[in-house]
Structure 1
Amino acid sequence: MRIGLQVPSFTHPGGTEQIAPTFARTARAADQGGLHSLWVMDHFFQIRGVGPSEEPMLEGYSALAYAAALTERITLGTMVTGVTYREPGILVKTVTTLDVLSGGRAWLGIGAAWNEEESRGLGVRFPPVAERFERLEETLRLAHQMWKGDESPFEGEHYRLERPLNSPPALRRPHPPVLIGGGGEKKTLRFVAKYADACNLFDGDELPHKLDVLREHCEREGRDYDEIEKTSLTLLGEPSAGAAVDTIGRLAERGVDHVIFSQGTGQDLAPVLAEARAQTEKIVPAGR
């Protein structure tokens, strides 16, 4: 079982000056504690459910680049990039840069985007949902093309690239893993089956059903369901290794391969999860 940590909040006692040292301590502790992955949200405003929009929020790929320089083994990704936030060729270039500088530890975490408030606030075009999914599929197609080293023109309905050159290439082979976030049954999970290496689903009662839907899409696409890494984002109300182990066991029984704990404001989960990882590996080997 793989264990990850998401850092969704940068609100700390001491204000802005404490953001960098606090995030650095978290990244180092997660890396040294043997966690598999470290994630930040790709948002520009804080999101509802975590805090008000005005709370501090870092740009995701800059934050991951900072974490890459402080760590050695842990993989790094956004949970998840909204497809409308960056032109797709630039997004692939950005993830590739993170992969090269981290020694092959980058993920492409991506979804159809939902936060209209931050898009309008910062002048980012936010098309209707159907178009956002069309753009998501084109971006996934382009990512695979660029990571294959194919520089031929890309002609989509929304994106046209004359020469999608990506040099240097990513270190991870065959490419940085693609994780699609979301549980939409008609499009999102179909895209997972067709294009992705991993899915991310929220921990909840619908999780087993979503995995069944994914399995059905895999059958239709001729994809091996077991090739896809099933990740789940969850909260840990009680910050203890015992509670984390219980959550990991419950999600493993549901078919999850990689549990990602979202760190609440004021929590320090990296040491807790490191202890839980040590306990869990006695039962379920890492990388199950």
Structure 2
Amino acid sequence: MKVGLHIADFTYPGGSPQLADDLTRVVVAAEEAGFARISVMDHLWQIPAVGPAEHDMLEAYTTLGFIAARTSRVELVAWVTAVTYRHPGMLAKLVSTLDVLSKGRAWLGLGAAWNGDEAAGLGLPFPGTAERFERLEETLQICLQMWSESEAPYEGQHYQLGRTLNVPQPLRRPPILIGGGGERKTLRLVARYAQACNLFAGTDLEHKLDVLRRHCAAEGRDYDDIEKTVLVQLDPGEHGEHIDALIAQLEGFARLGFAEAHAWWPEVWRTERLKLLGREVLPAAAALGA
């Protein structure tokens, strides 16, 4: 099992004047510790689960480009891109650019968006739920077309592209991760389009995987071809007092078939916890397989 790092908080003790240096320190430590991926949220205000809206928040794709320049191995992903915040043609170009400049490390993380407050506050489009899911499927189709040999027009209900030219192409077609556990729409789109899904740690994980398995059968997709990831808080504690519990939690995820635990915890800027996880938890996770 792999472990990824989700950076959800950019409010560090040094404030914005030191943020570039602090973030560099975090991502370098994560790569050296053996984390497989680094992700950032696609939010423009901080979300309530992490802190008040007024806390520091960086734009996702600018930040991923910054991280790409300071690392060499970790994969890079917005966890997950809000589908209505960028036109699909621009999004495909952003991810392609990130992939080329990171030498093939970019993923496309994508979801239907949920934060209506930040969208309204900054004047971003935020249609109703049904339309956001329609736009999500069209965005997936457009990105896949732009990452192919086709330059043909795209005519959808919500998006029309006259020529889907995308040069340079990504070094590899970026794998697609769709975030969310919606049983009727989200997991169906995973089965139809994605290389990975993301679920939130909870008591319903086995049920969600069963739903995904049924969607795969309906789509003629091999369930085992989809990487299962779980977003979870993995805080080792001040002195590693939670290490055994974390390893037991990862063992449970592995038994369900999860290939990656994507981890976040408070005060990620305290890199001693990153190093502790690298020494004590990541080797145990690697021994679990997928």
TM over 0.5: yes
Counting only pairs closer than 5 Å after superposition, residues 258-277 of structure 1 correspond to structure 2 as 258-265=260-267, 267-268=270-271, 269-275=273-279, 276-277=281-282
What amino acid is the match of 1:195?
Y
* Post-superposition CA distance 1:244-265 (Å, at most 9, x none): 3222112111221110001313
Match of 2:136 in 1: 136
Quick check: 1:5–1:263 contact (8 Å CA) kept in 2?
A: no
Match of 1:159 in 2: 159
Aligned residues: 283
Counting only pairs closer than 5 Å after superposition, residues 216-255 of structure 1 correspond to structure 2 as 216-239=214-237, 240=240, 241-255=243-257
Quick check: 2:9–2:50 contact (8 Å CA) kept in 1?
A: yes
* TM-score normalised by the chain length of structure 1: 0.95
Q: Structure 1 stretches of 5 or more lacking a match?
A: none
Report deviation, 1:284: 2.5
* Post-superposition CA distance 1:194-241 (Å, at most 9, x none): 000000000000111000000000000000000000000001244334
Quick check: 1:27–1:71 contact (8 Å CA) kept in 2?
A: yes
Alignment pair present for 1:199 and 2:212? no
CA distance in 2, matches of 1:119, 1:154: 26
CA distance in 1, matches of 2:188, 2:252: 26
CA distance in 2, matches of 1:225, 1:272: 34
CA distance in 1, matches of 2:36, 2:285: 13
CA distance in 1, matches of 2:62, 2:247: 32
Quick check: 1:149–1:166 contact (8 Å CA) kept in 2?
A: no
DSSP 3-state at the match of 1:248: helix
CA distance in 1, matches of 2:11, 2:245: 24
Alignment pair present for 1:27 and 2:31? no
CA distance in 2, matches of 1:128, 1:72: 40
Quick check: 1:35–1:273 contact (8 Å CA) kept in 2?
A: no
Inter-CA distance 4–127: structure 2 relative to 1 (3 Å threshold): same
**Structure 1 runs (4+) greater than 4 angstroms displaced:** none
CA distance in 2, matches of 1:270, 1:109: 23
DSSP 3-state at the match of 2:4: strand
CA distance in 2, matches of 1:47, 1:143: 27
Counting only pairs closer than 5 Å after superposition, residues 5-44 of structure 1 correspond to structure 2 as 5-44=5-44
Counting only pairs closer than 5 Å after superposition, residues 41-80 of structure 1 correspond to structure 2 as 41-80=41-80
What amino acid is the match of 1:190?
R
Alignment pair present for 1:104 and 2:109? no
Report deviation, 1:19: 1.5
CA RMSD of aligned residues (A): 1.3
Quick check: 2:2–2:285 contact (8 Å CA) kept in 1?
A: no
Match of 1:94 in 2: 94
What amino acid is the match of 1:242?
D
CA distance in 2, matches of 1:216, 1:37: 28
Quick check: 1:236–1:243 contact (8 Å CA) kept in 2?
A: no
Q: Structure 2 stretches of 5 or more lacking a match?
A: none
DSSP 3-state at the match of 1:6: strand
DSSP 3-state at the match of 1:84: helix
Report deviation, 1:154: 0.2
* Post-superposition CA distance 1:122-177 (Å, at most 9, x none): 110110000000000000011111111211000000000001111000012xx110
Quick check: 1:185–1:210 contact (8 Å CA) kept in 2?
A: yes
Quick check: 1:5–1:270 contact (8 Å CA) kept in 2?
A: no
Match of 2:150 in 1: 150
DSSP 3-state at the match of 2:178: strand
CA distance in 1, matches of 2:288, 2:41: 28
DSSP 3-state at the match of 2:262: strand
What amino acid is the match of 2:36?
H
Quick check: 2:232–2:261 contact (8 Å CA) kept in 1?
A: yes
CA distance in 1, matches of 2:185, 2:139: 14
CA distance in 2, matches of 1:39, 1:94: 15
Quick check: 2:254–2:288 contact (8 Å CA) kept in 1?
A: no
Match of 1:183 in 2: 181
CA distance in 1, matches of 2:219, 2:55: 42
Quick check: 1:77–1:107 contact (8 Å CA) kept in 2?
A: yes
Report deviation, 1:102: 0.4
